[in-house]
Chain A
Amino acid sequence: MDPDKTAKPSFETALARLETIVDAMEQGEVPLADLLAKYEEGTKLLKVCEARLKDAELKIEKLKKTKDGGVVFEPFESGRGE
């Protein structure tokens, strides 16, 4: 397998693959051993997706250019107030 994919698939890749697996599993007449293998892979992908969902938190920042041409991120202050 592609080491990049086993290492850390993106959420979208993982979700798309997961849905493909679920579809395949739902086809019925899947040999039990196959089904279990698929379940195992599906569970891994599910973990990736769920971890990603769980880890996500709202963070709002603003990019600021420094004098030396670099960039820094600072918390975004609402310019007008809410």
Chain B
Amino acid sequence: MEKSEPEFPLGEAGARVQTVTEFTRRVKELLEGGLPPCWVRGEVSNLRAQSSGHVYFSLKDAGAQLACVLFRGDALRQGVRLRDGQQVLAYGQAGVYEARGQYQLVVRALIEQGVGQLQQEFEQLKQRLAAEGLFDAARKRPIPAMPRTVGFITSPTGAAGQDFIRILQRRGWRGRLVVLPAKVQGAGAAAEVAAMLRTAEALGIFDLLVIGRGGGSLEDLWAFNEEPLVRAVAACAVPVISAVGHEIDYTLCDFASDVRAETPSGAAELISSQFVAAAERVAQARTAMAQVLESSARRARERLDHARSRLRLLSPAAAIEQNHLRLDDLSNRLRSAVRASVQHRRQQLGDARARLAATSPTKRVQLESHRLLALWKRLESVSPPSVLKRGYVLVRDEAGRPVARAKDIKSGQMLVNEFHDGRVRVRTE
């Protein structure tokens, strides 16, 4: 071994021998630095979505296959739902996974191949213009509630214009509508619409511009995705409603305009609704103002009435009236007090008189005279004449002395029997 000249000489002290890591890093640098990001077309196979959210798959064609990874953050941004067998365009950059010595495409964006070139252009332009701030919400201006003059840039023969006008008429919109004819499809359409926008702007009579057309294929609507027109819409000094195609169709003019209507009919509905709403707002303002004025006038009147009645209470006349009332009241009270007092005294006097009368001598005299009379009657009843009246006889001697005992009488004595009605002289036996 040591005799033979080595076909691949080792360098001194192994300085040129590299570790696997070193070698792999050089491959990585070469690949990642030497291959700028690009679009790769192929068929999706071996699709695996990890629970981490990262998506792994292979892109293949007849001759080769390429490992791909779509990291979680990028995966969330994709509108495309990947499936095996799907033809896609993947945008990304080569990356080397050193641990396994594998290279892969780190995919940042994906579109379905079927959507085609236009869609890709659409997305790219959209991103570019969005990055410029052309679609910023802050740029959007309100649509005037009651535009005097509306310009509708469309094909003068298209159904969109007819629908637009019919709806405005039916919903009672009033104002001046000027149809601004322009080619809305095919080569040169975008330039024509953009030129008409500028013409309308220069005329200075429009309060609102509408650009639109009816539905069609992506190619039919393409004029409204062309950069010069999109820029013209964004730059227009007059507010612009973009009303292109059907509900599902989005064009870059929709993003650049101040308001996107789903269809031309939708734009007409929006304009007429605002008109009706504005008329309603005016009517409401009129009513509200009248109500406020009336209610505040009523309030003021009430306050005035209140103040007036309070003032009246405080007026000198009222004070005098009050004093009159007080005076009358006092005099009434005085009078009744006097009256009560007199009555009281009178009562007292009556009582005293009664008491006095009860204790007067007359009464006593009467009483005593009654007693005297009774005594007199009793005395009278026992007096000699009374006794004689009852049939007794008083016997007297000749000298007139009463004879009370029978033994004092002698026979043949002369006696005088005294009856109550006279005397009889008798001789005793």
* Cβ-defined contact, A42 with B285, below 8 A: yes
* Cβ-defined contact, A79 with B156, below 8 A: yes
* Cβ-defined contact, B285 with A19, below 8 A: yes
Whether B165 sits at the interface, judged by CB under 8 Å, is yes
Complex Cα spacing A28 to B146, Å: 30
* Cβ-defined contact, A11 with B145, below 8 A: yes
Complex Cα spacing A46 to B286, Å: 7
Complex Cα spacing A48 to B168, Å: 23
Identify A62's interface contact among B144, B156, B168, B292, CB under 8 A: B156
Give every chain B residue within 8 A of A21 (Cβ-Cβ): 289
Q: Interface code B131-162, partner A: CB below 8 Å = 1, 0 otherwise? A: 00000000000001110100100001111011
* Cβ-defined contact, B293 with A39, below 8 A: yes
Whether B326 sits at the interface, judged by CB under 8 Å, is no
Give every chain A residue within 8 A of B146 (Cβ-Cβ): 11-12, 15, 52-53, 56
Complex Cα spacing A18 to B168, Å: 26
Give every chain B residue within 8 A of A11 (Cβ-Cβ): 144-146, 148, 278
Give every chain B residue within 8 A of A18 (Cβ-Cβ): 282, 285
Give every chain A residue within 8 A of B173 (Cβ-Cβ): 58
Give every chain A residue within 8 A of B425 (Cβ-Cβ): none
Give every chain B residue within 8 A of A59 (Cβ-Cβ): 175-177
Known contacts A62-B156, A73-B178; A46 and B289 CB within 8 A of each other? yes
List residues 41-69 of chain A with CB under 8 A from any CB of chain B: 42-43, 46, 49-50, 52-53, 56-63
* Cβ-defined contact, A58 with B168, below 8 A: yes
Give every chain A residue within 8 A of B117 (Cβ-Cβ): none
Q: How far is the CB of A43 from chain B (nearest CB, A)?
A: 7
* Cβ-defined contact, B162 with A63, below 8 A: no
* Cβ-defined contact, B166 with A49, below 8 A: no
Whether B199 sits at the interface, judged by CB under 8 Å, is yes
Complex Cα spacing A74 to B77, Å: 50
Highest count of chain A CB atoms <10 Å: which of B166, B181, B282: B282
* Cβ-defined contact, A58 with B177, below 8 A: yes
Q: How far is the CB of A38 from chain B (nearest CB, A)?
A: 9
Complex Cα spacing A82 to B146, Å: 27
User: Smallest CB-CB separation from A30: which chain B residue?
Assistant: B296
Give every chain B residue within 8 A of A10 (Cβ-Cβ): 144
Identify A46's interface contact among B174, B176, B285, CB under 8 A: B285
Size range of the interface on B?
Answer: 35 or more
User: Smallest CB-CB separation from B143: which chain A residue?
Assistant: A12
Known contacts A15-B145, A57-B174, A61-B176; A71 and B159 CB within 8 A of each other? no
Whether B31 sits at the interface, judged by CB under 8 Å, is no
* Cβ-defined contact, A42 with B289, below 8 A: yes
Identify B179's interface contact among A15, A42, A61, A80, CB under 8 A: A61
* Cβ-defined contact, B199 with A71, below 8 A: yes
* Cβ-defined contact, A62 with B179, below 8 A: yes
List residues 13-39 of chain A with CB under 8 A from any CB of chain B: 15, 18-19, 21-22, 25-26, 28, 30, 32, 35, 39
Whether A6 sits at the interface, judged by CB under 8 Å, is no
Complex Cα spacing A66 to B275, Å: 33
Q: How far is the CB of B177 from chain A (nearest CB, A)?
A: 5
Q: How far is the CB of B165 from chain A (nearest CB, A)?
A: 6
* Cβ-defined contact, B148 with A60, below 8 A: no
Known contacts A46-B285, A49-B282; A22 and B176 CB within 8 A of each other? no
* Cβ-defined contact, A32 with B181, below 8 A: no
Known contacts A15-B281, A52-B146, A71-B199; A58 and B169 CB within 8 A of each other? yes
Give every chain B residue within 8 A of A63 (Cβ-Cβ): 151, 178-181, 199
Q: How far is the CB of A68 from chain B (nearest CB, A)?
A: 14
* Cβ-defined contact, A12 with B145, below 8 A: yes
Chain A interfacial positions (CB closer than 8 Å to B)? 10-12, 15, 18-19, 21-22, 25-26, 28, 30, 32, 35, 39, 42-43, 46, 49-50, 52-53, 56-63, 71, 73, 76, 78-80, 82
Chain B interfacial positions (CB closer than 8 Å to A)? 144-146, 148, 151, 156-159, 161-162, 165-166, 168-169, 173-181, 199, 203, 278-279, 281-282, 285-286, 288-289, 292-293, 296, 300
